A = this chain, B = another copy of it.
Amino acid sequence: MENISKRIKNLPIGIFDSGIGGLTVAKSIFNLLPNEKVIYLGDTARLPYGTKSKETVILYSIECLKFLLKKKVKLIVVACNTASSVAVPFLKKITKIPILGVIAPGAKAAVQKTKNKKIGVIGTVRTIKSMSYIKEIRKISTDVKIYSQPCSLFVQLAEDGWTDNKIAILTAETYLNTLKKEKIDTLILGCTHYPVLKKTIAKVMGKNVILIDSGEETAKEVKSLLEKQNLLTNRKTKGTHKFYVTDFPSNFKDISERFLGKKIRKVEKIKLQ
């Protein structure tokens, strides 16, 4: 028993996303749990998930899950808002390994941090329409007010590195105007691309608004869950990070560096069924 637990402790954490956005989540996990091994899968051949039907997203997520299960991971993070909102319940039926999405941790943190009980949520059109953050917040609090706003242009701005120029600021002002008027004090960045634009969003919202980075909150949740289950690695050295993609998108290197905050030295291209 002792040996089995020891063996599991040192297995990697698995992360998957439709593409590269999840790298901001991976970055938070690398920072908080540097000694953990991590396997990242970006289903770049089929990105984005956000425009696809629910059935398709579930199917693709199951394929990503199966790939990570074959790699023998101890915990799986669904680092994609779309997949988190529609596929997690289905994934949990397939395996007993803990599965964490990015929505619940972000929702929980926002409820804990708001003082005036006015929370804003920004995300892609699909995430906002799915009301997944609202549903998750409502599970833990019925007395906060929630204001949401799709910010579809933010993804392209983040990928192009237009993160703090005039256009980024004007776009942020246009999207965030209503949330400012509603005097929210907490804002959930409900898309894995948005942390790249955090400075501009913070500038536009003002210093009294707390930004909730779903990636950071998810990393905290991963740590807490591994602690509870006595599954944190006992490795004393830095864990290795492996990256798999299903295709190489144009600008992959530049974008991934911007999202991860470091160079990815080796990426392997694989096929999902």
Q: Which residues of A contact B (CB under 8 A)?
A: 44-47, 50-53, 56, 125-126, 129, 152-153, 155-157, 159-160, 162, 165-167, 170-171, 174, 247-251
How often does this chain occur in the complex, in copies?
Answer: 2
Contact, CB under 8 Å: A51 / B152: no
Contact, CB under 8 Å: B44 / A51: yes
Chain B positions within 8 Å of A165 at CB level: 174
Contact, CB under 8 Å: A46 / B44: no
A47 to B18, CA, bound (A): 13
Distance (whole angstroms) from the CB of A164 to the closest CB of chain B:
14
Extra contacts besides A152-B159, A153-B157, A166-B170 (8): CB < 8 Å: A45-B52, A46-B46, A50-B250, A51-B249, A53-B247, A153-B156, A155-B156, A165-B174
Contact, CB under 8 Å: A247 / B160: no
A250 to B47, CA, bound (A): 14
Contact, CB under 8 Å: A160 / B153: yes
Contact, CB under 8 Å: B167 / A247: no
Contact, CB under 8 Å: B155 / A249: no
Q: Decide: A249 near B52, CB < 8 A? Known: A155-B156, A160-B153.
A: yes
A125 to B161, CA, bound (A): 13
A251 to B50, CA, bound (A): 11
**Residue in B153, B155, B250 whose CB lies within 8 Å of A51:** B250
A129 to B249, CA, bound (A): 13
